[in-house]
Amino acid sequence: MPLPFKNLTAVAVLSIAALTAPAHAEMIAKTSPHSVSETMDRLEAAVTAAGATVFARVDHAAGAMKVEQELRPTQLLIFGNPKLGTPAMQDAQTAGLDLPLRVLAYADSEGVVHVTYHAPNSLVADHGLPADAAYLKMMTGALDKLTGKAVAAE
């Protein structure tokens, strides 16, 4: 039985809204047995050992202290490898908004340290990159391996 015109219109409007709604990047989260500082030291060492470039390390808690506010330990590491990032930006220069890669480490209210980053495949929806791009698979593997080293118990 065909749908009444009103229902077809509603279906069409909802479909368009779903397609044009902003995408939310998938976040990958791990916990660390180390402090935020030690976790980020370990991540920075792993990034450097892998031949990638560390562009910045941001201590958000230190920034909060400068304006007389409190924030639990929170640090961000910004790093990348032009061999992976450049092809992504050649496919869509807007990918530069999300590159270089970023990893956040923070302590929650219970003192548990979390390591969080956006899944590289979110660049597909956000910037129209090809889902099967080799650089996305390499970024995904690198982030998993590097953050794995940062949170490893040893």
Asked if the structure places residue 125 within a domain, the reply is: yes
Confidence band (pLDDT; 50, 70, 90) for 17? very low
Confidence band (pLDDT; 50, 70, 90) for 20? very low
Q: Would the pLDDT of 3 be above 90?
A: no
Asked if the structure places residue 11 within a domain, the reply is: no
Asked if the structure places residue 15 within a domain, the reply is: no
The pLDDT, as a whole number, for residue 8 is 44
pTM of the full predicted structure? 0.84
Asked if the structure places residue 20 within a domain, the reply is: no
Residue 151 · residue 144 · CB < 8 Å? no
CA nearest to 101, candidates 134, 137, 55: 55
The pLDDT, as a whole number, for residue 25 is 76
pLDDT digits (tens, 9 = 90+) for 99-154: 999 999 999 999 999 999 999 999 999 999 999 999 999 999 999 999 999 999 98
Mean of the per-residue pLDDT values for the chain? 89
Range of the domain at 143: 25-151
What 3-state class would DSSP assign to 133?
coil
Give the chain's domain count: 1
Asked if the structure places residue 50 within a domain, the reply is: yes
The pLDDT, as a whole number, for residue 154 is 83
Average pLDDT over residues 18-32: 73
Asked if the structure places residue 89 within a domain, the reply is: yes
Hey, what's the torsion of the CAs at 32, 24, 102, 58, to 10 degrees?
A: -90
Asked if the structure places residue 2 within a domain, the reply is: no
Q: Would the pLDDT of 14 be above 60?
A: no
Asked if the structure places residue 36 within a domain, the reply is: yes
CATH number at residue 109: 3.30.310.70
Which are the contacts of 14, defined by CB distance < 8 A and separation ≥ 6? Answer: none
Hey, what's the torsion of the CAs at 21, 137, 117, 128, to 10 degrees?
A: -20
